[in-house]
Amino acid sequence: MPEIRIENLSHTFGKGGANALTVLDNINLQFESGSFNSIIGTSGCGKSTLLKMMAGLFTPSDGQMTLDGNVIEGTDRRRGMVFQQDAVFPWMTVARNISYGPRLRGASNKEQAEVEAKWTEMVGLKGFEDRWPRELSGGMRKRVDIGRVYANDPDVLLMDEPFGALDAQTKERMQSDLLTTWQKSRKTVVFVTHDIEEAIFLSDKIIVLSSRPGRVHHIEEVSLPRPRNDEMRLTEEFLDIKRRLWGMLDH
Amino acid sequence: MTVMNALRSRRLWLGALSIALVFAFYIWITNRPDNNPALLPPISDIVASFFTNLESGNLLTALGASLFRIAMGFFIGTTLALVIGCLIGWYKVVEYLLDPLIEALRPIPPLAYIPIIIIWFGIGEFSRVLIITIACFMVCVVNVIAGMKNVPQVYVDAASTMGASRFQVFRTVAVPAATPFIITGYRIALAAAWTTLVASELLAAQNGLGFLLQEGRRYFMTDQVMMIIVIIGGCAFIMDRIFRKIQSHLMQWSEARE
């Protein structure tokens, strides 16, 4: 049973007004439970808007989305999100950031400590528990961000170009580590990016959106075996997909 | 670290230097044969006035009365500012309701309320505390509102998508994110408290530092006037320093502390 379903979804900013701008036009998609999906497209194709709608931060002007058959309305801890910008709370230490979600629901100190220990380790931040975010690099802060969302145990993970601001090496490490973490818990992931290689490396399915207005242009199933490693980035199959998608994003 | 220490000590030295220069200039000018001590009393007279007033108990009584007024006005004013500022900054309905009122009242200097307050409430303790309260509230509330409005949206979104209720977002995100603004508001309020304190005591008081200033003027005791000015400067300085300590403790997480 598909976990997330998007049906006849359109969105127009300033609908009915003189400057109405349609950013998404009749989107129909479904994301299987436990799959890793990417949405790619050039800037302005509405991919971030679509993701924010799945998070419940935005209401589409037409159509609907459902999670396990329930209409998505407003934010919910079941749909966790990692943002493009730095969203780590600077006034909390690394550990307090990680246990933020459980604390919201009144977790005991013991439960919080367990969550902190588990997820600082999982995202590779052991030993940094008591640091302030300002003392960490951009890559490490992203790790805090991802650990915090995972520690909150959502059903769906929405990621909006989370590695967009990182340098190439850090980015590749983060991609591998994200896959490792994902492999262990198999949450449904919807990952927005404009980086084709990143999308291929991570995903089971890639949705290519065309620009202005955003429409589903192509859906690519990626059948590279898992677990994936960096050598796969140079295989014929990988490069084939890359070439194909490259052509689509060009126009 | 050594570079930091070197910079720090240079900063201290230069600061002390400018104060020392003003002192030296004052001593030089008061020692000139054509100096009129009634206008510029020598430092020895100012110090003597300090001890006279200390021994007679006038100074401590005045200081106590003034500090009490400041404490009351500051505490009530900033507490109201915190509560109302948070409500305005966080709840659109409250903002639409109260923001125009605050904006309309904001340009009015707090001292302009003194005549009407005296007409309504007389020249008692209540009136003086009320003026200080108004002054503290007005300067502080503006900062609290600004702080709440400058909470980065991504923090709010992050908390919401982790399941935080609107009130939880307010408590765990908006208030801490606005802390730098709020603390600045408190510091400005403290300065405003001193300004309005002296003004209110100059106009209508039987005790307090402002009263001693007024008394010094009336009986031409310039040394007393000078002494009180230094006392006020010293007290305000010490309080501001204490506030900075609190600030840098609360703002350990921020890159831009101090």
- CATH code, domain with B200: 1.10.3720.10
pLDDT of residue A10: 86
B152 to chain A: nearest residue by CA? A87
User: Which of B153, B157, B162 should we substitute to test contact with A (largest number of A Cβ atoms within 10 Å)?
Assistant: B162
Residue of A104, A134, A158 with shortest CB distance to B168: A104
Q: Which residues of A touch B158 (CB under 8 A)?
A: 81, 83, 87, 89, 145
Number of domains composing chain B: 1
Whether A50 has a pLDDT exceeding 60, the answer reads: yes
Whether B150 contacts chain A with CB within 8 A: no
Whether B33 contacts chain A with CB within 8 A: no
Has residue B31 been placed in a domain? no
* 3-state SS class at B254: coil
The answer to whether the CB of A174 falls within 8 A of the CB of A139 is yes
Q: Which residues of A touch B160 (CB under 8 A)?
A: 56-57, 75
B124-139 mean pLDDT: 93
A73 to chain B: nearest residue by CA? B161
Domain span holding position B168: 53-250
pLDDT of residue A1: 46
Has residue B85 been placed in a domain? yes
Q: Which are the contacts of A169, defined by CB distance < 8 A and separation ≥ 6?
A: none
Whether A167 has a pLDDT exceeding 50, the answer reads: yes
Place B87 in a pLDDT band, splitting at 50, 70 and 90.
Answer: very high
Whether B1 contacts chain A with CB within 8 A: no
* Residue A31 phi, psi (nearest 5): -120, 120
Whether B6 has a pLDDT exceeding 70, the answer reads: yes
Which residues between 54 and 113 in chain A have a beta carbon less than 8 angstroms from any beta carbon of chain B? Answer: 55-57, 75-77, 79-81, 83, 85-87, 89-92, 100-101, 104-105
d(CA A118, CA A129): 11
Q: Which are the contacts of A117, defined by CB distance < 8 A and separation ≥ 6?
A: none
pLDDT of residue A45: 80
Count the Cβ atoms, other than its own, within 10 Å of residue A225: 8
Has residue B118 been placed in a domain? yes
Has residue B36 been placed in a domain? no
Whether B177 has a pLDDT exceeding 80, the answer reads: yes
d(CA A101, CA A82): 14
A64-78 mean pLDDT: 86
Q: Which are the contacts of A115, defined by CB distance < 8 A and separation ≥ 6?
A: A98, A99, A102, A107, A151
pLDDT of residue B252: 84
Of A11, A32, A41, the closest CA to residue A217 belongs to A41
Whether A2 has a pLDDT exceeding 70, the answer reads: no
pLDDT of residue B183: 92
Has residue B58 been placed in a domain? yes
Query: Distance (Å) from the C-alpha of residue B160 to the closest C-alpha of chain A?
Result: 6
Alpha helices in chain B (DSSP H): 2-31, 43-55, 58-90, 92-105, 114-121, 125-149, 153-161, 166-169, 175-203, 209-218, 222-250
Has residue B73 been placed in a domain? yes
What's the token pair of residue B126? 């209540």
CB contact under 8 A, A57 and B157: yes
pLDDT of residue B2: 65
CB contact under 8 A, A152 and B157: no
Q: Which of residues B132 and A184 earns the better pLDDT score?
A: B132
Of B229, B204, A142, the closest CA to residue B221 belongs to B229
Give per-residue pLDDT as tens, A12-47.
887 777 788 888 888 888 898 889 999 998 877 888
Whether B253 contacts chain A with CB within 8 A: yes
The answer to whether the CB of A110 falls within 8 A of the CB of A160 is no
CB contact under 8 A, B176 and A89: yes
Q: Which residues of B touch A76 (CB under 8 A)?
A: 161, 163
Cβ-Cβ contacts under 8 Å between A and B: the total is 69
* Average pLDDT of chain A to the nearest whole number: 87
Give per-residue pLDDT as tens, A182-205.
888 888 999 999 889 999 999 999
d(CA A170, CA A136): 14
Task: Indicate if the alpha-carbon torsion angle A14, A16, A17, A19 is positive or negative.
Answer: positive
A103-118 mean pLDDT: 90
Burial A3-36 (b: 16+ CB within 10 A, else e): bbbbeebbbbeeeeeeeeebbbbebebebeeebb
Q: Which residues of A touch B167 (CB under 8 A)?
A: none
Place B60 in a pLDDT band, splitting at 50, 70 and 90.
Answer: very high
Q: Which residues of A touch B154 (CB under 8 A)?
A: 83, 85-87
d(CA B194, CA B77): 13
What's the token pair of residue B40? 């510029």
Cα separation values, B72 from B29, B132, B133, Å: 41, 8, 8
Q: How big is the CA angle at B217 (ends B214 and B222), to the nearest 5 degrees? A: 125
pLDDT of residue B258: 43
Has residue B224 been placed in a domain? yes
Has residue B3 been placed in a domain? no
pLDDT of residue A73: 86
Which residues between 153 and 182 in chain B have a beta carbon less than 8 angstroms from any beta carbon of chain A? Answer: 154-155, 157-164, 168, 172-173, 176-177, 179
A82 to chain B: nearest residue by CA? B158
Whether A157 has a pLDDT exceeding 70, the answer reads: yes
Name the DSSP letter for residue B151: S
d(CA A6, CA A64): 6
Whether B255 contacts chain A with CB within 8 A: yes
CB contact under 8 A, B253 and A86: no
* Average pLDDT of chain B to the nearest whole number: 90
A97 to chain B: nearest residue by CA? B159
